[in-house]
Structure 1
Amino acid sequence: MNLNSKNKTILIAPLNWGLGHATRCIPIIKALQENNFTPIIASDGIALELLRKEFPYLKSLELPSYQIEYAKNGKNFKWKLIKSLPKILEAISEEKNTVKKWVKKYKIDGIISDNRLGVFHKKIPSIFITHQLNVMTGNTTWITSKLHQHIIKKYTACWIPDVNTQLNLTGKLGHLENNTLTLQYLGPLSRMHKMALPKQYDLMIILSGPEPQRGMLEAHLTQEIKRFDGKIVFIKGIIEAEQKKEQIGNVTYYNFMKSRQLEQTFNESKQVLCRSGYTTIMDLVKLNKKAFFIPTPGQYEQVYLAEKLQNEGLVPFATQEAFKIEDLSQIDQFKGLPLLDTTVDWEKLFKVF
């Protein structure tokens, strides 16, 4: 425990892009509390809803939404994002002004931004968290990567939830050949822990990410699992006021799960079918689980990670359109994700504040 923090107040703000950025902030928020800091949570949409459910006793603030939308056709995602750029830049500008007011109002001593580009303050230590030093956007990757690195440069430091060794999870996303950035590799960040529990489910399906792609995958999988022989738990990734549970044949459906129940369900499941989002990958590493990936159409980062891990013989994947439930038989031919057992020295890391 850091007894020198004098209850300093730290603003922690994850991007609302699916649930991954919010969930990987959960262990950081807990570590801040354990080290005698006072966290204030800030985000918008389902990311904020999720963190409010996890930490109902903490102060939470709402930031302007980036209004990121997915295209129905993954090929159009980049162009839809470019079209949304004026709205996103407006939200980032508003975010900067909001944070300036909050720093004064709530006497904030430090900032942790998980991919929120406007959550920054010149006069206090500001940390940026990302696993994408290089931002994959197809033939525009070089410019999006340079822009992202230019933004990161203004922060006190950049924390990367991966290891800086040859065997790593992010590949060229989270590692640069040459750079002048202040980088600190934390190792995989997860709220999950491996437990020896009896298996209750043959397959766990967990969905996440923005609409309409989340709903499109749900509809596709609902049809595919009719041919699955075994018990399934299907978590839709819809954050609502109350949890809903529904049993249809061999499938148990939930709209969402909070961390503790989700951790138990992961441990009670033989195999996992999910997106290749980086936070999910980190959870699977901590749980030492075998999985099958369906990357979000048009999201270059998820496609890159799925291809990388399949090429390394770790986890198989299929595109959303091509996936058939019979593809799950491939899982046993792959090694599974490496168990990168790293311990974060939070006390040392938080000295920046």
Structure 2
Amino acid sequence: MLNDANQNNRTILIAPLNWGLGHATRCIPIIKALQDNNYIPIIASDGIALALLRKEFPCLKFLELPSYEIEYAKNGKNFKCKLLKNSPKMIEAILTEKKLVKTWIIEHGIDGIISDNRLGVYNKSIPSVFITHQLNVMTGNTTWLTSRLHQNIIKKYSECWVPDIETSPNLAGELSHIKNNSFKLNYLGPLSRMHKKDVPKKYDLMVILSGPEPQRGILEEKLKIELQRYEGNVIFIKGIVEKNQTKEQIGNIFYYNFMNSRQLEQTFNESEIVLCRSGYTTIMDLAKLGKKAFFIPTPGQYEQMYLARKLKEEGLVPYADQDSFIIENLSELKLYDGLHSSDHTVNWERLFSVFQP
């Protein structure tokens, strides 16, 4: 039964970053929990993140935020340079976000904010929560600086929610754990919209892509060539969110442009192994489902490289660099245990109490 305080139907703005689909998809269980606890979610984002959430929650209110215009370099070595080059546009977007949020609080009667890595979605006049698994931001030899800057941003918020286990073993390691902090941390445990099901296996291999261009497209073209030498049944989700779902069969490969959560959950469960990026949301999904996977980290993205190395060293998941990957690498999977996570129940009522007067 809902408590009396929640009968007020308080309105919460939830805003995931549009960097691939991971930030949007890990907000899905939070949005559902808000609804289950009698809150009214309003979703704000841009690009494919906004498009995906519109498909998942067609009856909710949506607001559009400015794009951070995040792009990857064609050469992974130029990743930091590309981000620095785009930083003026990002700063402009963050400042615009702040102005929009201030207006929306009055216009839409917003009582609280949940920002998943959107740095301008914050207002000191109402409870504001920041979601991140990156208390430390890996950027090579500048990690100390980017981590300090990120932590200073987090300090502004009422609380920081971390989708990982506080103790060891955990999924994100040094990314999600710091020795000294000056802000309120709540560890949620891994967040996933997926559920493990006992269903017959239909596919030998599931390929799922995500992330900004051009690297998503570069990997898609490479894998299309490599998969010509793969003999099993393959389902290939390109990670392109469009108005209509498209599907195509070429030989033993079934191609989809995107899938909704229900379809993805079914496909994950029907697949023997998964080939994908080492993005953190994907890792949480794989752990929830207890899947064996092979990772190809996005070139130049230090976070994905760190996670891939960590999980390989722990004997859980093998990986290969994008340039050197060949389909025969999948034979390494028999040497690794795969991902698993212990059951973790989130006390949403306690977490959401931050939004109560």
Moved more, 13-22 or 330-339: 330-339
- TM-score if structure 2 supplies the norm length? 0.98
Give the secondary structure class of the aligned counterpart of 1:189: coil
Q: What does the per-residue CA deviation read over 1:148-185, in whole Å, with 9 as the maximum and x for residues that have no partner?
A: 00000010000000001110001100000111121000
Letter in 2 for 1:31: A
Distance in 1 (CA, whole Å) between partners of 2:186 and 2:328 is 41
Letter in 2 for 1:89: I
Query: Unpaired runs of 5+ in structure 1?
Result: none
Distance in 2 (CA, whole Å) between partners of 1:36 and 1:223 is 49
User: C-alpha displacement at 1:2, in angstroms?
Assistant: 3.5
Q: 2:17 aligns with which of 11, 15, 18?
A: 15
The answer to whether the 8 A contact 2:291-2:340 is kept is no
The aligned residue for residue 187 of structure 1 is 189
Give the secondary structure class of the aligned counterpart of 2:84: helix
User: C-alpha displacement at 1:338, in angstroms?
Assistant: 2.8
Distance in 2 (CA, whole Å) between partners of 1:282 and 1:2 is 29
Moved more, 19-28 or 77-86: 77-86
Give the total of aligned pairs.
353
Moved more, 219-228 or 1-10: 1-10
Distance in 1 (CA, whole Å) between partners of 2:344 and 2:278 is 21
The aligned residue for residue 282 of structure 2 is 280
Give the secondary structure class of the aligned counterpart of 1:142: helix
User: C-alpha displacement at 1:332, in angstroms?
Assistant: 1.3
Q: What does the per-residue CA deviation read over 1:232-254, in whole Å, with 9 as the maximum and x for residues that have no partner?
A: 00000000000001000000000
For 1:66-81, what aligned pairs fall within 5 Å after superposition?
A: 66-81=68-83
Distance in 2 (CA, whole Å) between partners of 1:273 and 1:2 is 41
Q: 1:63 aligns with which of 57, 65, 70?
A: 65
Q: What does the per-residue CA deviation read over 1:260-315, in whole Å, with 9 as the maximum and x for residues that have no partner?
A: 00000000000000000000000001100000000000110000000000011110
Distance in 1 (CA, whole Å) between partners of 2:29 and 2:340 is 20
For 1:309-328, what aligned pairs fall within 5 Å after superposition?
A: 309-328=311-330
Give the secondary structure class of the aligned counterpart of 1:40: strand
The answer to whether the 8 A contact 1:109-1:124 is kept is yes
The aligned residue for residue 47 of structure 1 is 49
The aligned residue for residue 135 of structure 1 is 137
Q: 1:97 aligns with which of 96, 99, 113?
A: 99
Query: Where has structure 1 moved over 3 Å in runs of 4 or more?
Result: none
Letter in 1 for 2:40: T
For 1:336-347, what aligned pairs fall within 5 Å after superposition?
A: 336-347=338-349
User: C-alpha displacement at 1:339, in angstroms?
Assistant: 2.0
Letter in 2 for 1:117: L
The answer to whether the 8 A contact 1:44-1:63 is kept is yes
Distance in 1 (CA, whole Å) between partners of 2:186 and 2:231 is 45
The aligned residue for residue 247 of structure 1 is 249
Query: Unpaired runs of 5+ in structure 2?
Result: none
The aligned residue for residue 257 of structure 1 is 259
Q: Does 1:349 align with 2:351?
A: yes
Give the secondary structure class of the aligned counterpart of 2:42: strand
Letter in 2 for 1:293: F
Letter in 1 for 2:350: K
Letter in 1 for 2:88: P
The aligned residue for residue 113 of structure 1 is 115
Distance in 2 (CA, whole Å) between partners of 1:329 and 1:109 is 52
Distance in 2 (CA, whole Å) between partners of 1:94 and 1:180 is 27
Distance in 1 (CA, whole Å) between partners of 2:194 and 2:168 is 24
User: C-alpha displacement at 1:337, in angstroms?
Assistant: 1.4
Distance in 2 (CA, whole Å) between partners of 1:273 and 1:131 is 22
User: C-alpha displacement at 1:205, in angstroms?
Assistant: 0.2
Q: Does 1:84 align with 2:61?
A: no
Identity of aligned residues (%): 71
The answer to whether the 8 A contact 1:188-1:340 is kept is no
User: C-alpha displacement at 1:340, in angstroms?
Assistant: 2.5
The answer to whether the 8 A contact 1:12-1:39 is kept is yes
Q: What does the per-residue CA deviation read over 1:60-90, in whole Å, with 9 as the maximum and x for residues that have no partner?
A: 0000110011100011010110111111001
For 1:117-196, what aligned pairs fall within 5 Å after superposition?
A: 117-196=119-198
Letter in 2 for 1:123: S
For 1:171-250, what aligned pairs fall within 5 Å after superposition?
A: 171-250=173-252
Distance in 2 (CA, whole Å) between partners of 1:209 and 1:196 is 30
The answer to whether the 8 A contact 1:8-1:109 is kept is yes
Q: What does the per-residue CA deviation read over 1:179-235, in whole Å, with 9 as the maximum and x for residues that have no partner?
A: 112100000000000000000000000000000000000000000000011000000
Distance in 1 (CA, whole Å) between partners of 2:48 and 2:304 is 20
User: C-alpha displacement at 1:320, in angstroms?
Assistant: 0.4
Distance in 2 (CA, whole Å) between partners of 1:273 and 1:181 is 37
User: C-alpha displacement at 1:32, in angstroms?
Assistant: 0.1
Distance in 2 (CA, whole Å) between partners of 1:333 and 1:273 is 16
